Amino acid sequence: MANPRAIDEATVQANERPHEHINVWKEILSVVKIGIVNSNLITTFTGLWLAFYFMGEGFLENLQIVFFTLFGSALIIAGSCSLNNFIDRDIDHLMERTKTRPTVTGTMDPKRVLWLGILLTVVGTLSLLMTTVTAAIVGLIGVITYVFLYTMWSKRNYTLNTVIGSVSGAVPPVIGWTAVDPHFHVVPLVLFLLMFLWQPPHFLALAMKRCEEYRAAGIPMLPVVHGFAMTKRQIVVWVACLLPLPFYLFSLGVPFLIIATLLNVGWLVLGLYGFKMKDDIKWAKWMFIYSLNYLTILFVTMVIVTID
């Protein structure tokens, strides 16, 4: 006769296994920063889509390029974020938004996170090589900038870390374009500049919101070192620099120019309004939320206006 206690324990263990798998999957998604991966894939897809549009090639006829580009981009971004988690585990416990990461709580072995980052980056690069060598090189530039120049070097030493990190964040649409057309073109350059100029006001607004956390972690973000007043001025300057860029994409049509200009002017007006507001944190939250909507609307609009 079977032992009832043994049967009960086996039942409990069987019921726990699915939950364990779910938890592991959640931890992996946390380590690779799935939100960052998804948002960057929007800009990668836009670069890819516009390349097909301007090169006169069909989207459905090149689905293999679409797959390898998006798959490869997702993996190198996820790999870079995993490496970032591994490197920053000594300071992540000091910040509210990062203290629950698996590398901090100990639910994932740091060595596994390191090897996961390396594996994802390698496989992602190989996937991009299935499109063009240029796309793979651009992808690696993004990885090197984010992991070495930003995470390991500038983030812990200079207020310019936001600007340096912006290079890696501006790479995805260029990967998308060069996967189709590896040659120089003004469109991917403008897409790069749009992403590059968008990031400082986005992340500086976040830094204002999390100022005390960055101070506790010893990270020299601009508001920590030079205060809110200078940070607000720099945010407005970066936003103002976005104003002329949509006009270099005049070939996308008047509707795009109108929408892009309204988005830029709206962001600039909100930025200038910050000099009158007394609640800097509230203003920073508004700027941060606007920046997220700005990027999504702008890049989705580029796709919509070029649908035949």
CA atoms within 13 A on the CB side of 208: 25
Q: Are 111 and 86 in contact (CB under 8 A)?
A: no
Q: How far apart are CA 247 and CA 120, in angstroms?
A: 37
Count CB neighbours of 253 within 10 A: 11
Taking CA atoms, 223 is separated from 76, 87, 126, 140, 218, in Å, by 30, 23, 40, 31, 12
pLDDT by position in tens, the chain (length 308): 445 554 455 444 545 455 556 688 889 999 999 999 999 999 999 999 999 999 999 999 999 999 999 999 999 999 999 999 999 998 988 888 888 889 888 889 999 999 999 999 999 999 999 999 999 999 999 999 999 999 999 999 999 999 999 999 999 999 999 999 998 899 999 999 999 999 999 999 999 999 999 999 999 999 999 999 999 999 999 999 999 999 999 999 999 999 999 999 999 999 999 999 999 999 999 999 999 999 999 999 999 999 97
Q: Which pLDDT score, from 0 to 100, does residue 252 have?
A: 97
Phi, psi angles (nearest 5°) of residue 292:
-65, -45
Measured torsion, CA atoms of residues 209, 272, 190, 192, in degrees rounded to the nearest 10:
-10
Q: Which pLDDT score, from 0 to 100, does residue 12 have?
A: 42
Residues 6+ apart with CB under 8 A from 1: none
The angle at the Cα of 295, spanning 209 to 64, to the nearest 5 degrees, equals 130
Phi-psi region of 57 (alpha: psi -120 to 50; beta: other; left: phi over 0): beta
Q: Which pLDDT score, from 0 to 100, does residue 100 have?
A: 86
Q: Are 203 and 161 in contact (CB under 8 A)?
A: no
Taking CA atoms, 197 is separated from 104, 216, 289, in Å, by 32, 28, 16
Q: How far apart are CA 274 and CA 229, in angstroms?
A: 10
Q: Are 196 and 241 in contact (CB under 8 A)?
A: no
Q: Which among 261, 253, 245, 260 is positioned nearest to 296, based on CA atoms?
A: 260
* Rg of the chain, C-alpha, whole Å: 22
Taking the alpha carbons at both ends of the chain, their separation in whole angstroms is 72
Q: Are 214 and 221 in contact (CB under 8 A)?
A: yes
Q: How far apart are CA 303 and CA 301, in angstroms?
A: 5
Amino acid at 254: V
Q: Which among 300, 58, 45 is positioned nearest to 179, based on CA atoms?
A: 45
Could you tell me the residue ranges of all domains in the chain? 28-304
Q: Residue 177 is encoded by which pair of tokens?
A: 């374009």
